[in-house]
Amino acid sequence: MNILDITGKEMLFFDGGMGTLLQKRGLCPGELPEMWNIEKSNEIIEIHLEYLNAGANIITSNTFGANLLKFPKDGKTSLDDVVGAAICNAKKAIEKCGDKKDKFVALDIGPCGRLLKPLGDMEFEDAVSLFAETVKAGARAGADLILIETMNDLYETKAAVLAAKENSNLPIFVTNAYGTDEKLMTGASPEAVCATLEGLGVNAIGLNCSFGPGQMLPVVKRLCEVSSLPIIVNPNAGLPAFKDGKTTYDITPDEFADIMTEIAKCGAHILGGCCGTTPEYIEKTVKKLTDFKPKPVTEKNISVISSYTHAVCFGNEPIIIGERINPTGKKLFKEALRNHDIDYILNVGLKQEEAGAHVLDVNVGLPEIDEVETIAEVVQKLQAVTSLPLQIDTSNPQAMEKALRLYNGKPMVNSVNGKKESMEAVFPLVKKYGGLVVALTLDEDGIPESAAGRCAIAEKIYAKAAEYGIKKKDIITDTLAMTISTDSSAAKETLTALETISNVGGLTSLGVSNISFGLPSREFINASFFTMALTKGLSAAIINPHSVEMMKAYKSFMALSGFDKNCESYIEFASTVSASQTLETPKSANATADDNTLKSAIIKGLSESAHAIAVQMLETTDAFDVINTEIVPALDIVGKGFEEKKVYLPQLLISAEAAKAAFDAVKEKMSKSGNNQTKKCTFVLATVHGDIHDIGKNIVKALLENYGFNVVDLGKDVAPEKVCETALKLNAPLVGLSALMTTTVPAMEETVKLIKKALPDTKVVVGGAVLTEEYANAMGADKYCSDAMETVRYAEEVNSTL
């Protein structure tokens, strides 16, 4: 019998804690509990049996920490043997208990013990591979289902789920460990977790560990609101805690059972226990709920996407999708893509977030670059800096798959259309990884002119999606804004189609600005069309959030439609717009009229003023003069102040940022005139392999950039080979490496040796908290620098000899 036949229809019961029971039976601290599967299998069987006798239906194998990190391939005991024995023990216990009906063995998978990037040092795909081995072993041994539990990071949860999906056909149950703030340790809300896991197609979700059942109630309620899946709740028996100098203790089995009954009434379907719970806790809970019928599992008609922190719902308030991460028609963006300037792209994203976007569209397609690798890198790096959900925008199925795989959460997918080829490429990916997919109303015959034609394609796409098991709520239809400059009825057809779809409960989206292609002052038309579409029920708009006209239309619509309580958001917005016409750089309180020279603006660290003055100066002054008479001397003054210990390092950095704002103005001017000869030599920068502390490196980078060096920043935790390859490829005269702790100094040494071998003339400069000049000399580096200014001075010296 498959457990899914009864899951959600009747109450099911997990077992309780294993650790405490093992300790009672003599497990020593430091001993691997999983070894008992082989060495003391009878003890394990007895524990399982106790839980079965207490009324548990699902017993979890003793494999919480059974992974390749603890049982490596070259170790004494193989992972296969440990997992195989564990499943076998659980099965034996079921045999022994006599009543085999509705009894199941769950392959237990806990966290791998390392944190994934960008917070930790483990690669997502490495985590998938790691879990895959445990899954394969469990499936081979005959587990009935997989329980992924105690996960306190959404990204790691996704890795484990993918491993389970790709290496077995078993039902997948997932429980996460929430904190008292009702989030996972790495920030995900229950709604974000639910959206992500439902998207990935797991069979039941819930929570375990962390605390006792009472404290779990709020999260249980939130999950019940949004989940279309059965809910699992496996609390601790409370935990001994120490607060305000007082100790609070466990709850008794009777109290536990009482609260678990409450939890069942809230809508949970599968109950059990975690740390500290014993067969008694389970027995009392089962007895209390003997004749209890759980609430039926209902399909929630919620259209939702999520980032690694929060969910964004569609169908109520209209959602703004920032369109700026896209090279189409953007010279600087294209250049950034070609030069692999990921920071530029991240900034485009961050600025849109500041401007009020709810979702960021990500399109990095350019014929001359490797889109698959680029989108993978951009998605991961964007998710390191912004908590907004992303819309993966590509027509390349390989790039789409890679991005969907690496995305932390449930993304939007842009796009599918009515062509058979498109649907056959996109829908399997959406089914596997989850996503809210944008459906363009066009097909093999092109874009129908009439609204009816577009609606027909929308219906066709819904129907095809359903064949793949993708629900209507996960499709958002774009009825395609076409320019009115060539067809004056274009807007009307688009809006009629939009309204028709919206009226039958479909979601809609538009790339709004296409409407005005070929017309002057496009924003006037765009904004009016946007308002018209919003009144027809538009669910999401792909727009430029820096456009004042568009944001005016949006904020006004929100206020007029009653979405904006007390018009608060509108009032806040209106105050910024009256102050300036662009939304890109909200005026800082520090920018005053006194700072009238570029030099003084930079010295004081006033970025907005520096940019504005530079723009003004460039009208009449040569770009090189602006750099040489204003920007560089200003930086030198602050730099000297720092060296003379009169200025704090952050003050130097603030001035550097102001200088950068001025440089940006110079760059804009130069890119317009086709001149781009401002750079000094290339400086490759990296924080060494294994090191995740990159603040020092970032400081060095900021200053070097301001002194005109072409800085290629490889980031943190960079393999020696990668640093060497990059330096070789760019024939870089300078490489800078940072390391924080003694544990990563060997990696630095290795990197230095590799570079010196491949590029004997390249100067390698090293720095970091534990380094000294002697250390640097011993490892063969050319220079040790104790701070960022010293690095700049050295780089200038090297540059002048080239």
Residues 740-759 that bind other proteins (CB under 8 A): 740-744, 747
What are the φ/ψ torsions at residue 748 (nearest 5 degrees)?
Answer: -65, -45
Yes or no: say if 318 and 539 are a contact pair by the CB < 8 Å rule.
yes
Whether the ω angle into residue 415 lies within 30 degrees of 0, i.e. cis, is yes
Label residues 349-368 b or e (16+ Cβ within 10 Å = b): bebbbebbbbbbbbbbbeee
Residue found by looking up tokens 């795909």 in the block: 125
User: What tokens appear for 662 in the block?
Assistant: 């001025």
Residue found by looking up tokens 């990204």 in the block: 155
Cα separation of 69 and 154, whole Å? 20
User: What tokens appear for 260 in the block?
Assistant: 């678990």
Cα separation of 236 and 278, whole Å? 10
Interface mask (CB under 8 A) for other proteins, residues 605-624, using x and -? Answer: xx------------------
Closest CB to other proteins among residues 232, 603? 603
Interface mask (CB under 8 A) for other proteins, residues 23-42, using x and -? Answer: -----xxx------------
What are the φ/ψ torsions at residue 684 (nearest 5 degrees)?
Answer: -90, 130
- DSSP characters for 115-144? PBTTTSSB-HHHHHHHHHHHHHHHHHHT-S
37: left (phi over 0), alpha (psi -120 to 50) or beta: alpha
Interaction between residue 115 and other proteins (CB under 8 A) = yes
Closest CB to other proteins among residues 113, 296? 113
Closest CB to other proteins among residues 93, 184? 184
Site residues (CB under 8 A) for other proteins, limited to 182-211: 185-187, 209-210
Interaction between residue 780 and other proteins (CB under 8 A) = no
Dihedral, CA atoms, 568, 570, 576, 582, nearest 10 degrees? 150
Amino acid at 356: G
Cα separation of 473 and 120, whole Å? 35
Interacting residue with other proteins among 691, 704, 734, 791 (CB under 8 A):
691
Give least dist CB 147 to other proteins, A.
Answer: 16
Give least dist CB 561 to other proteins, A.
Answer: 31
Site residues (CB under 8 A) for other proteins, limited to 556-585: none
230 to 202, 476, 567, 728: CA distances (angstroms): 10, 26, 39, 55
Stretch that binds other proteins, among 406-414, 494-502, 576-584, 603-611 (CB under 8 A): 603-611
Beta bridge partners of 416: 439
Interacting residue with other proteins among 103, 158, 701, 763 (CB under 8 A):
701
Yes or no: say if 736 and 781 are a contact pair by the CB < 8 Å rule.
no
**Residues with Cβ within 8 Å of residue 569, at least 6 apart in sequence:** 555, 558, 559
Number of other residues whose CB lies within 10 A of the CB of residue 675 = 11
Interface mask (CB under 8 A) for other proteins, residues 403-422, using x and -? Answer: --------------------
Give least dist CB 280 to other proteins, A.
Answer: 19
Give least dist CB 381 to other proteins, A.
Answer: 9
Give least dist CB 701 to other proteins, A.
Answer: 7
Give least dist CB 129 to other proteins, A.
Answer: 16
Closest CB to other proteins among residues 194, 239? 239
Closest CB to other proteins among residues 101, 246? 246
Q: Which of 136, 154, 247 is nearest to 200 (CA)?
A: 154
Interacting residue with other proteins among 366, 702, 730, 759 (CB under 8 A):
702
Interaction between residue 802 and other proteins (CB under 8 A) = no
Q: Which of 246, 256, 249, 260 is nearest to 289 (CA)?
A: 260
Stretch that binds other proteins, among 135-143, 223-231, 298-306, 346-354 (CB under 8 A): 346-354
Closest CB to other proteins among residues 563, 648? 648
Site residues (CB under 8 A) for other proteins, limited to 287-316: none
Interaction between residue 593 and other proteins (CB under 8 A) = no
Beta bridge partners of 393: 414
Give least dist CB 349 to other proteins, A.
Answer: 10
Interaction between residue 119 and other proteins (CB under 8 A) = yes
Site residues (CB under 8 A) for other proteins, limited to 234-273: 239-245, 247
734 to 694, 711, 754, 785, 797: CA distances (angstroms): 18, 10, 14, 13, 11
- With helix as H, strand as E and coil as C, how does 398-461 read? HHHHHHHHHCCCECEEEEEECCHHHHHHHHHHHHHHCCEEEEECCECCECCCCHHHHHHHHHHH
Closest CB to other proteins among residues 134, 394? 134
- DSSP characters for 279-305? HHHHHHHHHHTTTPPPPPP-----EEE
Whether the ω angle into residue 118 lies within 30 degrees of 0, i.e. cis, is yes
User: What tokens appear for 161 in the block?
Assistant: 């789920």
Q: Which of 160, 162, 234, 223 is nearest to 195 (CA)?
A: 223
Give least dist CB 687 to other proteins, A.
Answer: 11
- With helix as H, strand as E and coil as C, how does 620-638 read? HCCHHHHHHHHHHHHHHHH
Closest CB to other proteins among residues 215, 547? 215
Interaction between residue 121 and other proteins (CB under 8 A) = yes
Interacting residue with other proteins among 37, 60, 152, 374 (CB under 8 A):
152
Q: Are strands 311-314 and 303-306 parallel, antiparallel or unpaired?
A: antiparallel
User: What tokens appear for 176 in the block?
Assistant: 């996460």
Stretch that binds other proteins, among 360-368, 460-468, 572-580, 738-746 (CB under 8 A): 738-746
DSSP class of 237: S
Closest CB to other proteins among residues 296, 586? 586
Closest CB to other proteins among residues 11, 237? 237
Q: In a 3-state reduction of DSSP, which class is residue 593?
A: coil
Closest CB to other proteins among residues 313, 692? 692
Interacting residue with other proteins among 395, 396, 485, 698 (CB under 8 A):
698
Q: How many positions of this chain bind other proteins (CB under 8 A)?
A: 75
Closest CB to other proteins among residues 102, 250? 250
Interacting residue with other proteins among 322, 506, 690, 733 (CB under 8 A):
690
Interacting residue with other proteins among 97, 346, 372, 670 (CB under 8 A):
346
Site residues (CB under 8 A) for other proteins, limited to 435-474: none
Stretch that binds other proteins, among 39-47, 91-99, 409-417, 643-651 (CB under 8 A): 643-651
Interaction between residue 774 and other proteins (CB under 8 A) = no
Stretch that binds other proteins, among 22-30, 367-375, 421-429, 524-532 (CB under 8 A): 22-30
Closest CB to other proteins among residues 81, 123? 123
DSSP class of 688: B
Interaction between residue 695 and other proteins (CB under 8 A) = yes
Closest CB to other proteins among residues 209, 451? 209
Closest CB to other proteins among residues 523, 657? 657
Give least dist CB 149 to other proteins, A.
Answer: 11
Closest CB to other proteins among residues 396, 651? 651
Cα separation of 186 and 297, whole Å? 28
Site residues (CB under 8 A) for other proteins, limited to 649-678: 649-651, 653-654, 656-657
Give least dist CB 587 to other proteins, A.
Answer: 15
Site residues (CB under 8 A) for other proteins, limited to 363-402: 384-387
